[in-house]
A = this chain, B = another copy of it.
Amino acid sequence: MAKVLTLGEIMLRLSVGDGVRLADASVLAANYGGAEANVAVSLAQFGHTAAFASVVPENPLGDGAVRHLSRFGVDCSRVLRGGARLGTYYLEEGVGARGSQATYDRAGSSFAAVDACPWDLDELFGDADLLHISGVTPAVSPTWRVIAPAVVRGAVERGVRVSYDVNFRAKLWSWDACMEVFLELLPYISVLSAGIGDVQSALGLERTAWDEGALSDAYTRLFEAAPLLETVYSTCRVVHSSSSNDLTGYLMTRGGALVHSRTHRIEPIVDRVGGGDAFAAGVLHGVLSGWDAQRTIEFGCAAGALKHTVAGDCNRFTAAEVEQFLHSGADVAR
């Protein structure tokens, strides 16, 4: 089992479901999560040593974030305390043909407001084998636009492999800025979650509709551009409705062919938030376990699909449960 460090912002999600509109809600469900935090939780369930680095306020919501992560065995010794507030967002969960609506209230968070890298890099990495970070982190503030790449370079300098998830968020920054950072980090990345559009844009290829051949071509070109890259992957999600999606995973390893997982029909969807993070963590588990491409993408996509069946941002299934999900039907065991 590996030692993994993930770094990013953790937020409080306040959500309503069950056919209630946010403006009419009298109760809100509270969940803590963030792209990198969710990956740490998944990896801890899979048996890895997972640490999370972040900054949260010295108040009950900061406590809540730390307790959430500790509950699932994540090492929180790199979660610093300070600053003004925990980033928050409100989610009106969609149902059927009505989509979910997010109302963000994350400006000025303790994480976003740091004015320099708050960790000594040697202490930050310790004896980690791999750093996982997503594109949300450099997008959070101009300061993080600088810190995030420095952390990535620092990882490679210390022999720590880097896993990156492009994870574009239009409400945080521009597509061009996201691509600029992606390109800047590309030389350092070993494991990458990037969709066809991310790759085509970043490499200056012609943008095409999604197509398995085009994805294969784009990934093939990417390996040429990224010297450390070992594995690149993404999902193809078909959104039938807020309550029903199909999810298929695609993955290519250096020198290998593009492989894909079986397609999971996810219906009903209990909670979609964190599905991509669960998928990324599943792929990382395969990579860290030295599995082949096919086994890795099957596991990753199953982990991602499984996440949609539980409430909350984080996947709380062991590797054995993911395997069982892959190999059994939905009958009752009794």
Contact = CB atoms under 8 A, between A and B. Distances in A.
A200 interface: no
Interface size class, chain A: 35 or more
A21 B332 contact: no
A272 B334 CA distance: 12
Interface in A257-309: 264-273, 305-306, 308-309
Contacts of A73: 70
Contact of A330 (B25, B60, B239): B239
A306 B112 CA distance: 35
A115 interface: no
Interface stretch (A91-99, A178-186, A189-197, A214-222): A91-99
A88 interface: yes
Contacts of A208: none
Which residue of A67, A102, A244 has the most chain B CB atoms within 10 A of its CB atom? A67
A268 B102 contact: no
A255 interface: no
A67 B71 contact: yes
A67 B24 contact: yes
A122 interface: no
Interface string A62-92: 0110011011110000000000110010101
A268 B241 CA distance: 10
A96 B23 contact: no
Nearest to A95: B309
A19 B266 CA distance: 13
A333 B170 CA distance: 9
Contact of A97 (B241, B325, B334): B325
A24 B241 contact: no
Interface string A18-48: 1111111111111100000000000000000
B268 A268 contact: yes
A174 interface: no
Interface of A: 14, 18-31, 59-61, 63-64, 67-68, 70-73, 84-85, 88, 90, 92, 94-105, 107-108, 169-171, 239-244, 264-273, 305-306, 308-311, 316, 325, 328-334
17 contacts: A19-B311, A20-B311, A21-B310, A24-B316, A60-B90, A70-B72, A71-B71, A94-B309, A95-B309, A96-B270, A98-B325, A99-B328, A102-B332, A102-B334, A170-B334, A239-B331, A241-B267
